[in-house]
A and B are shown apart, each in its own frame.
Chain A
Amino acid sequence: MKTNRDIVRRITVDERLDANLIRILISELFDDVESGEIVDDTIWWDEESKLVSDLRSEDIERASKSVVDWSTLLREWGIPERIWPRWDDLAEGQVYLEGAYTLRKIEDSIMLQRAPKIRHIVRVDLVPQVKDHRDRMYNRIFMRRARLA
């Protein structure tokens, strides 16, 4: 049976809707993937959205039923409090990898490898390989059309 300890999640900050409200997107690494390039979209499940808030749970419950408390969520995932991303620092476009894994640079690629004893959360959207991958994927559409013209 899969436990929380086995799960590796890719968390994207999609939109800050209000000072107290953010939509995040969560996708989990496929169960049978032990390692892979972090920019490889085929190793992750499709994303699910979740509204999170920094308000206390009782205040959220009073205001909305579809919102979860950010600190409760991180606690449920088993992330040590000392490494939680600060609420005020969360901004759209950020990507975090959460879970038990290591990252290793092999030639020009950043490889993710499951590593059960190491559990952490790391921001990866500023890694050049991640940014470059997105832009390369986008631009190749225009490059192909230019070649066809």
Chain B
Amino acid sequence: MPKPIQPEDLVFHFLNVGFGDNILIELPADEDGKRSYGLVDCCDHEKTKGYLKELQKKRPGETNFRFICATHPHYDHISGINNFLKDPDYRPEEFWESGFRHQSKTYMNIINSIHEHDIKLVRVSSGMEWYFGKVQVTALSPSIRLRNRYATFGVDMNNSSVVLRFEHHKEDYLLTKSLEYKGTKSEEIERQAGRSVVVLAGDAEFDSWAYVADEYPRLEASKTHQPLVKKMINPLACRVIKVAHHGSMHSSPLDIYEKMNPNLAIISTKQEVSTKQIGDMTLERGLFPHPSSISSLEEVGATILTTDGCYESSTVDGQPRNPDCDRCGTIVVVVPPGGDPRYDKLDDDEYTVKDPPTDV
């Protein structure tokens, strides 16, 4: 049963823009009841602006962004960003990026706008944190060890992706941290770890995840290592993941999904089929998402939603896998403070703007 979206809820809108990422984030309302926004990647500025205008008719908000993040400089993630940087009505307070420098004109236009309009540029690396009320944002990637290798061409653009972890705390974050150190064990913290967490994975691939796994380990309780007893939170646990790189073959290894254990996996995509010659055999398969990625997500029991509906409408024994969502459309995820996320799927194609929901 859908519930009304409350002013204190954190809301993610994974816009259907075809093959590309475009995630509009509604931060919880301030004391005046107004929301502010974040934008993680933007492939289509027209659709984003149109959707935002509709959104503000439902829930009041400031037009300018608290931040715009380009996870990495591939065209399907940044092609709509410069429009927002040039527009004084939407210009962000901060621009977050991975530090990977591309040669494309689209990228150079962004760099020029940041300079011209004196926008604060934040070169993100793992461990950086931001706070928006009870919402804590942590950068899981890129590792500084990856970032230091950019110039040697030892790292490709996807692996430079900014990966962000959003946690919507029930209480003030500092209070939550103090609970962590109460006594020698906090089952409550362990149980709730990941409950109100959404991970936006950009296009990170295996190299990137290797560092994430190393830098954000799940530390188990131990009777013999007292200092570890107090550190039981698994920082990768989450309820929702925006799957990396449109669910490609190298998007995420199974062991990362096992650590995350997501309930919901969102894939922003427009399926492309490719063929590969192996000896006499021609292998034809979907690339985005790739069968290996789907299989890993199914293995951990995640509900899979795609913006083009390719997975949900694919059939098993003649029946669509997910008949409630077997269409293309924007995906909306509502995260109450400290609560379980819930979701809805709209029915817009990549060119049209759908009315944002008030109940999810």
Which of A59-67, A77-85, A98-106, A114-122 is the contact stretch? A59-67
- Asked if residues A17 and B79 are in contact (CB atoms below 8 Å), the reply is no
* B57 located at the interface, meaning its Cβ lies under 8 Å from any Cβ of chain A in the complex: no
What is the minimal beta-carbon distance from A9 to any residue of chain B, in angstroms? 12
Cα(A36)–Cα(B98), bound, Å: 31
- Asked if residues A49 and B79 are in contact (CB atoms below 8 Å), the reply is yes
- Asked if residues B109 and A20 are in contact (CB atoms below 8 Å), the reply is no
**What residues of A have a CB within 8 angstroms of the CB of B104 in the complex?**
12, 14, 25, 47
**What residues of B have a CB within 8 angstroms of the CB of A20 in the complex?**
274-276
Given that A19-B276, A135-B101 are known contacts, is A49 also in contact with B75, CB under 8 Å in the complex? yes
**What residues of B have a CB within 8 angstroms of the CB of A69 in the complex?**
none
The 8 Å CB contact of B105, one of A17, A47, A135, A141, is: A47
The 8 Å CB contact of B102, one of A23, A49, A93, A145, is: A93
Given that A47-B105, A63-B275, A64-B273 are known contacts, is A23 also in contact with B111, CB under 8 Å in the complex? no
**What residues of B have a CB within 8 angstroms of the CB of A130 in the complex?**
103
- Asked if residues A141 and B121 are in contact (CB atoms below 8 Å), the reply is yes
Cα(A13)–Cα(B102), bound, Å: 10
Cα(A93)–Cα(B75), bound, Å: 12
**What residues of B have a CB within 8 angstroms of the CB of A137 in the complex?**
108, 111-112, 115
What's the count of A-B pairs with C-beta under 8 Å? Answer: 95
* A15 located at the interface, meaning its Cβ lies under 8 Å from any Cβ of chain B in the complex: yes
Residue of A nearest to B270 (CB): A66
**What residues of A have a CB within 8 angstroms of the CB of B114 in the complex?**
141
Cα(A12)–Cα(B118), bound, Å: 27
- Asked if residues A10 and B105 are in contact (CB atoms below 8 Å), the reply is yes
What is the minimal beta-carbon distance from A41 to any residue of chain B, in angstroms? 5
* A21 located at the interface, meaning its Cβ lies under 8 Å from any Cβ of chain B in the complex: yes
**What residues of A have a CB within 8 angstroms of the CB of B158 in the complex?**
15
**What residues of B have a CB within 8 angstroms of the CB of A23 in the complex?**
74-76
- Asked if residues B274 and A41 are in contact (CB atoms below 8 Å), the reply is no
**What residues of B have a CB within 8 angstroms of the CB of A27 in the complex?**
105
Chain B interface mostly: mixed
Given that A19-B276, A92-B157 are known contacts, is A47 also in contact with B102, CB under 8 Å in the complex? no
Contact pattern, A 4-18, Cβ under 8 Å of B = 1, otherwise 0: 000000101011011
* A86 located at the interface, meaning its Cβ lies under 8 Å from any Cβ of chain B in the complex: no
* A90 located at the interface, meaning its Cβ lies under 8 Å from any Cβ of chain B in the complex: no
* B284 located at the interface, meaning its Cβ lies under 8 Å from any Cβ of chain A in the complex: yes
Residues facing A in B267-281 (CB within 8 A) are 270, 272-276
What is the minimal beta-carbon distance from A19 to any residue of chain B, in angstroms? 7
**What residues of B have a CB within 8 angstroms of the CB of A66 in the complex?**
270, 272
- Asked if residues A142 and B103 are in contact (CB atoms below 8 Å), the reply is no
The 8 Å CB contact of B272, one of A14, A46, A67, A145, is: A67
**What residues of A have a CB within 8 angstroms of the CB of B120 in the complex?**
145
What is the minimal beta-carbon distance from A97 to any residue of chain B, in angstroms? 12
**What residues of A have a CB within 8 angstroms of the CB of B276 in the complex?**
19-20
**What residues of A have a CB within 8 angstroms of the CB of B121 in the complex?**
141-142, 145
Cα(A53)–Cα(B275), bound, Å: 11
* B156 located at the interface, meaning its Cβ lies under 8 Å from any Cβ of chain A in the complex: yes
Most chain A beta-carbon neighbours within 10 Å: one of B75, B103, B115, B158: B103
* B106 located at the interface, meaning its Cβ lies under 8 Å from any Cβ of chain A in the complex: yes
**What residues of B have a CB within 8 angstroms of the CB of A144 in the complex?**
115, 118
Most chain B beta-carbon neighbours within 10 Å: one of A10, A14, A134: A14
- Asked if residues A25 and B75 are in contact (CB atoms below 8 Å), the reply is yes
What is the minimal beta-carbon distance from B206 to any residue of chain A, in angstroms? 15
- Asked if residues B111 and A92 are in contact (CB atoms below 8 Å), the reply is no
What is the minimal beta-carbon distance from A75 to any residue of chain B, in angstroms? 22
- Asked if residues B103 and A41 are in contact (CB atoms below 8 Å), the reply is no
* A112 located at the interface, meaning its Cβ lies under 8 Å from any Cβ of chain B in the complex: no
- The contact sample of 25 A-B pairs, CB cut-off 8 A, is A14-B75, A15-B74, A15-B157, A17-B288, A20-B275, A20-B276, A21-B272, A21-B287, A23-B76, A25-B105, A47-B104, A47-B105, A49-B75, A49-B76, A51-B272, A53-B274, A59-B275, A63-B275, A64-B273, A66-B270, A93-B102, A130-B103, A134-B108, A141-B115, A144-B118
Residues of A participating in the B interface, judged by any CB pair closer than 8 Å: 10, 12, 14-15, 17-21, 23, 25, 27, 41, 44, 46-47, 49, 51, 53, 55, 59, 63-64, 66-67, 92-95, 125, 130, 134-135, 137-138, 140-142, 144-145
A-B complex: 4 closest residue pairs judged by Cβ atoms: A63-B273, A12-B104, A14-B75, A95-B103
Beyond A20-B275, A64-B273, A67-B272: 5 further Cβ-contacts under 8 Å? A47-B104, A51-B272, A63-B273, A93-B103, A134-B108
